Copies of this chain bind each other. A is one copy, B any other.
Amino acid sequence: MSKPLSAPVWPTLFAASATASMGIQAQLIHTLRKALLAGRLPQDSRLPASRMLAKDLAISRSSVEAAYAQLEAEGYLERRAGSGSFVAFTPQLRPSKKTASASAQLSQRGQGIVDAGGCRDTTLPSLAFNAGQPDTRAFPHALWQKLMQQRWSKSGAALASYGPAQGLPELQLAIAGYLAQARGVDCQPEQILILNSSQQALQMIAQLLIDPEDTVWLEDPGYLGARNAMLAAGAQIVPVPVDQEGFNTGISQTLAAPRLIYTTPSHQYPLGIAMSLPRRMTLIAQAAAHQAWIIEDDYDSEFYYDQRPLPALQGLDQQGRVIYVGTFSKVLFPSLRLAYIVLPPALVPAFITARIAFDGHSAQFLQAVTADFITQGHFATHLRQMRLLYRSRRDLLLEKLQPIADVIKPVNTAAGLQFALQLSKGLEKPWTASGTTAGLALRPLSAFYQKEAKTEGWLMGYASLSNEQIIRASETLIKSYQEK
């Protein structure tokens, strides 16, 4: 049980924030949200009981209760029956570039890495409508705990020492089996390299395969984490437009020869398009002609609701040019820190050496528990359940957005943890502002474009939101339309 926050926090919290024009309840919500966003209330710490806080602040207990309820719906707090309200939120304190370069004397390369930035798409908690977030509450925590216990008893000691850089053989085997069956990936377990995250995969690929000034084709709009990894490696990025069939191979054939091509064929990020089969074949042929590598980032294809996704590009490739990237962050839970790549055989030795040089290997025990989770059949069960859950949330969100159907257009809603919501022209900027003020996490589609944005809208995450959060956040979004 967490300790309650120490009493002295509260007076200082409320001292400087009395805004006369706000009602008591709104003021309380505002003050608490600001403190949470600033990281002044640590994750998992317990808030004062509503009765106590009401007494301290000389306001009604029902105001406190209502404020806590609102903040819970927004994802900042979690109320646990019988034990109180807890902070469910840790802000990502991302420093400004100015501070980073002040007296830090970074190398030019280091400054380039910092300027390219990290991948900020997945670092916010499950506020509506943040994208890329699975529902970690729906994970079978008790089962996982049981598997951890069994695994530690059986081989905790045996797995405590340094392990193989390429990953635990059992997990390589389990992943190869799953990918062959579910994604049509054609590989030997030895081609699988276990990593900490798909961001690590993108960084390693960029470092090992790209030299400064090398051309990289990137989907436009596209995934910022990939763009940043390529920029950090010094790549010359050539944006390739996306249409209703995905990556536009008609246009790409007219572009500068690439060394590397980054794609999300199953579920284009952020627009959600599935790349058509003819385009896939053409892209593979283009890569072969240019002797370029293709990164197939298959980040959430497990979550399909209306039809199965096409098998992976990797399975179509006869030339060994596709590097398949998968992650457990979304199908299990993000802080597990396990992802993997399927490498063409020619690249395996270099990547193993680089993994040793970079950071050794991933935690063996967690690899073993993950392998058990898959081979004992729990993974398939969990995916089935999450598909049902996320589908129901998608359906609810689509239903709740009906009242503003004339100004919005949800597209490619058949799969994933989010969908793109297109907006009528001119709405993105003012509406994002009013929605953000109202406490929503809105991610404008324009941010994913290299240059000029062709689509206005947002990437709408729904998978991690409870029904109540979806309902309330939809109401807030609709209300903020009037206030924009």
Q: How many copies does the complex hold?
A: 2
Per-residue CB proximity of A87-116 to B under 8 Å, as 1/0? 010101111100111111111111001101
Question: Is A421 an interface position by the 8 A CB rule?
Answer: no
Q: Is the beta-carbon distance between B350 and A335 smaller than 8 angstroms?
A: no
Complex partner residue of A157 from B42, B136, B197, B360, CB under 8 angstroms: B136
- Cβ of A368 to closest chain B Cβ, rounded Å: 10
Question: Is A1 an interface position by the 8 A CB rule?
Answer: yes
Q: Is the beta-carbon distance between A169 and B42 smaller than 8 angstroms?
A: yes
Q: Is the beta-carbon distance between B161 and A365 smaller than 8 angstroms?
A: no
Question: Is A480 an interface position by the 8 A CB rule?
Answer: no
Q: Which chain B positions have C-beta within 8 A of A136?
A: 157, 160-161
> Which residue of chain B is the closest to A329 with respect to CB atoms?
B162
A366 to B159, CA, bound (A): 15
Q: Is the beta-carbon distance between A335 and B354 smaller than 8 angstroms?
A: no
Q: Is the beta-carbon distance between B361 and A337 smaller than 8 angstroms?
A: yes
The stretch that binds B, out of A120-128, A391-399, A431-439, is A120-128
Q: Which chain B positions have C-beta within 8 A of A337?
A: 359-363
Q: Which chain B positions have C-beta within 8 A of A65?
A: none
Count residues of chain A with CB under 8 A from any CB of chain B: 108
- Once A42-B169, A335-B162, A363-B363 are accepted as A-B contacts, the answer to whether A353 and B114 lie under 8 Å apart by CB is yes
Q: Which chain B positions have C-beta within 8 A of A38?
A: none
Q: Is the beta-carbon distance between A101 and B350 smaller than 8 angstroms?
A: yes
Q: Which chain B positions have C-beta within 8 A of A95?
A: 348-349, 352-353
Q: Is the beta-carbon distance between A200 and B110 smaller than 8 angstroms?
A: no
Q: Is the beta-carbon distance between A107 and B200 smaller than 8 angstroms?
A: no
- Once A144-B156, A145-B153 are accepted as A-B contacts, the answer to whether A161 and B105 lie under 8 Å apart by CB is no
- Once A152-B148, A356-B120 are accepted as A-B contacts, the answer to whether A106 and B350 lie under 8 Å apart by CB is yes
> Which residue of chain B is the closest to A212 with respect to CB atoms?
B109
- In chain A, positions 136-189 with a C-beta closer than 8 Å to chain B are 136-137, 139, 141, 144-145, 148-149, 152-166, 169
Q: Which of A116, A137, A207 has the most CB of B within 10 A?
A: A207
Question: Is A60 an interface position by the 8 A CB rule?
Answer: no
Give the 5 A-B CB pairs with smallest separation, nearest first: A118-B356, A95-B349, A110-B208, A200-B359, A136-B160
- Can you give 12 contacting A-B residue pairs, CB < 8 Å? A42-B169, A93-B164, A93-B352, A109-B208, A110-B208, A114-B354, A122-B162, A125-B162, A161-B335, A196-B362, A335-B363, A337-B361
